[in-house]
Structure formats: structure tokens, C-alpha cells
Structure 1
Amino acid sequence: MQVLDLGLKNYAETLELQKQLLEKRARGEIEDTLVLVEHPPVYTMGRSGAETPAEIKVRKLGSVPVVAVERGGKLTFHGPGQLVGYPIIALPHHDLRRYLRDLERLLMSALVQETMLPALPCPESLLLEPGQLQTGVWIRDKKVVSIGIAVKRWVTYHGFALNLSTDLRYFEAVEPCGFSGSIMTSVEREMGGDADMKVIAANIKRTLIARFAVLSESYLGTEAPRAPENMMSV
């Protein structure tokens, strides 16, 4: 698996890069690729449902751009202090739900290893309705990783946003997964003021790269059959 660590890069440019990589991966021209990046402040709106009053408010404020995208989910924030990952991975098994849960487990295990924080799936007590598909990684009753993915020609794009030292005030204007913006947290907040976030961020990034390589390898073995154009998102 190749890794592209872009540093700070505009969201629109990174989205275009994802699409180019997706097409190359679908044609077998490149191997699975993990794009790591940090974005200037931007809100992105997924495909799930109509705008909420909070989303309309964000558009009217105009201080931070809003970009409509093909991933699943609703409105979320990307900005400095966040580690954003866009895995461009072929799915020979054609199972988007499996990939989503593999992604969650990978992120949880990396966080536990590098921070000792109790990173878990969404607590059942917070589900808005029984059996609801709730994504992301949580620390107790707070969400630290947002996930919104899509697949085209059985290659994934979009991905995850891990709040390391993110300014959480940007979430106050949105409703992450239908919750109040106060549901969001960061590694820095959960670990307290004495944590060396530069070291922690570097360790998490290194661990994620290693674990994504293992995940990519686990999906290999048989080439995915040719599939018609398709687009799905979670």
C-alpha cells in the first residue's frame, strides 16, 4: 500500500486527487493508497437527507466554506488539528458494511494502543433508534472519529476524520449524526493538558499506516470481478 501524506491541503484539491486515484485503482494502474491530510477549515455535506436548520445556518454564516460531497452522512467539519484519512482501497468482497466495520476496528485499536483511551463503537444508550447504523469511534459518550465513506466501481474513497487537537467550537453549528455539536471531543481534551500532542499525533499516524497496510493485504487474494458503474455511501 502506498501512503500520500499531504500535510495541509485544500479540501477541493484533495477531493479531486481522491477521484483520480480511485479511477487509477479501478483500472489496476496503482495499488491501494492511503491519503493522509489536514484541511483548512471547511464543512462538508454528505448525501444523507435534506438540510437541517443547523446546516442552513452554517451556509448563511459564510465564514467557512461548505462543500457538497458523495460520501454518506450529513454535515461535518474538517480543520486544523484533525488527522483526515482517505483510503483508496479495492473491495474484492463487494461488502461496504464489512469495510466500514473493519475501518472502525482499525481506528479504535490504534487509538487504544497509542493513547490508552477507551475507544469504542457508539454506545447503545446514544442510538437514536434501536438497530440504527451509527458510525465512528467514541470515547465514553463523546465522538472522537467521524466516518463517512463511499465506493465507486468497488473502490473506496472519502474516509475518516480523527480529532487530535481540533477546535471543537466549529462543531457547535452542526448536528453530527443527528446529535448536538457538543457530542464531539478530541484526543487532546480526553488526555488533558499535559499530553504532548505532536508526539501522540505522530505515533497515531505511524500506527494507522501500519494497520492500513495489513487491512489492504487482507483484502487481496482474488481480483474483484468487473462490475458496472456503481456508487454507494455510508
Structure 2
Amino acid sequence: MAYGEALALQRDLAQRRIDRSLDHDLLLLVEHPPVVTLGRGSHAEHLVAPKEFLAAKGVELFEVERGGDVTCHGPGQLVGYPIYDLTQHRRDLHWFLRALEECLIAALRDFGVAGERRDGYTGVWTGGRKIASIGIHVKQWVTWHGFALNVMTDLSLFDLIVPCGIPDVAMTSIQKELGERSPRDLWGRALDAVVLAFCEVFRQQAQMVELEAVRSGA
């Protein structure tokens, strides 16, 4: 899904959640074409590649309202956008960020990859390498934006930026960590693992909904 399309959908769903025309939480799981996004905490020097270079390579660039610095998305990366009403959970942003990290750590555990937190940062690491990034926006306790889990991502995309504004950070993916042990159905298993982890951490039951039904408000 194109990033701009996903962004517009998130904003629409979040507003519907705020005004109660949407009466349940949603987790959008998508895959984007190459795109760089600049959060509220972005610094110009963390965008390594000139904007003209990005445009020439077909990499889109967006300035968005989420927290955090610069990040990028691309094929092979599982991006999740939880449209959650925290008044139905806990009115605590730090708790929500830690819960998102716990979901990703639990999903990685399904592959035998040991996910971990790093003091002072938001996201998930493994063996000192960053495997997932998190950045959210909240309005009236309703969240959007979310996380990006590197499943089988082309990690050279991160050469365009200073990922999350962390100098010399090494990025990795589930595929890279597993090497020859990567299952053929890695993408599908990653999807299932993330959904299961969200159900466990947030104590919810999953119901798969097609995109058109989400758009139409069903």
C-alpha cells in the first residue's frame, strides 16, 4: 500500500475512533513501497540522501506527526498501525510504547530470535542490532502510526538515513538473523506471530477484516 494512502486511512480511522463512529480498535498491517518519513523529532542531517536523489530513485518522502526521528519503509518490512483508544486500555503513553515493544519481542520469539529493549530508546533490538522501530501519534487518547518490523527487508534502504537518529546503528531483519534457517513462508508466519502477540499482550480477540470493509466503515 502506498504510504500516502495508508496515512490518509489512519487519520480517517483515528477520527472515527475519536468520535465513536468506529467502536473497536483496529490494527492495520501493511507493506509499503520505498519511502522515508520524518517524525516530529527529525533533524535535517539525519536524512543522508538529498531529496533529489530520493525522488530520482522513486523513494517518496513524507513529514508526519508521529514522534521520533527519521525512518524508512520498504518491501519486506511489516508495518503495523494500531488505531487504539487508550481510554479502553490505560491512559499511559509510556505503557503503550512498552506494550508495542512486548508484542514485537513476543513475535520474534516465535522464530527463536531474542528481542530486547535498549535503555533510553524506543524500539526492539537483537544482539545489538535494531530489528524494529516504533513511533506513534496520539489525539484524545486515540493512537495512530505505529511500528515497522524488518522481516525480509532490503537493509540497504537504511543507508539513505541515520535510522531513528541513532548514529552508527546497525539494522537487521528476521531473515538476516535466521540466515539459512529462514522458513519459506517467513512473511506469513511473521504476520501470524504479530497478530497473536497483539491478542496476548492487549488481551483481545482478532477478527480479520478486508481493507475495503475498513474503508467503508463496516
Whether TM exceeds 0.5 here: the answer is yes
Distance of aligned partners of 1:13 and 1:181 in 2 relative to their CA distance in 1, 3 Å threshold: farther
CA-CA distance at 1:212 after TM superposition: 2.0
Q: CA deviation at 1:177?
A: 2.6
Structure 2 gaps, min length 5: 205-218
Residue from 109, 116, 119 that aligns with 2:115: 119
1:50 corresponds, among 36, 43, 49, to 43
Report the count of equivalent residues: 198
Write the distance in 2 (CA, Å) between the matches of 1:140 and 1:83.
Answer: 20
What CA distance in whole angstroms lies between the structure 1 residues aligned with 2:182 and 2:201? 29
Quote the offset at 1:46 in angstroms: 0.4
Contact 1:58–1:174 at 8 Å: present in 2 too? Answer: no
Within the candidate set 80, 94, 97, 2:94 is matched to 97
- Which residue of structure 2 aligns with residue 6 of structure 1? none
Please tell me whether the aligned partners of residues 130 and 169 of structure 2 are also in contact (alpha carbons under 8 angstroms).
no
Of the structure 1 ranges 9-18 and 205-214, higher mean CA displacement relative to structure 2 is found in 205-214
Over the matched positions of the two proteins, sequence identity in percent amounts to 40
**Residues 181 and 161 of structure 1: CA distance in aligned 2, closer, same or farther (over 3 Å):** farther
Secondary structure of 1:83's aligned partner: strand
C-alpha RMSD over aligned residues: 1.7
Deviation digits for residues 6-49 of structure 1 (CA, Å, limit 9, x no counterpart):
xxx10000000001110111122221000000001110110004
Q: Is the 8 A contact 1:119 1:137 kept in 2?
A: yes
Q: Which runs of 5+ in 1 are unaligned?
A: 1-8, 125-131, 219-234
**After TM superposition, where is structure 1 displaced by more than 3 Å over at least 4 residues in a row?**
213-218
The correspondence for 2:152, drawn from 165, 168, 178, is 165
| Counterpart secondary structure, 1:87 | strand
TM-score for the superposition, normalised by structure 1: 0.79
CA distance in structure 1 between the partners assigned to 2:6 and 2:196 by the alignment: 22
Residues 1:22 and 2:22 are matched in the alignment: no
Counterpart in the other structure of 2:214: none
Counterpart Cα distance in 2 of 1:109 and 1:194: 19
TM-score by length of 2: 0.84
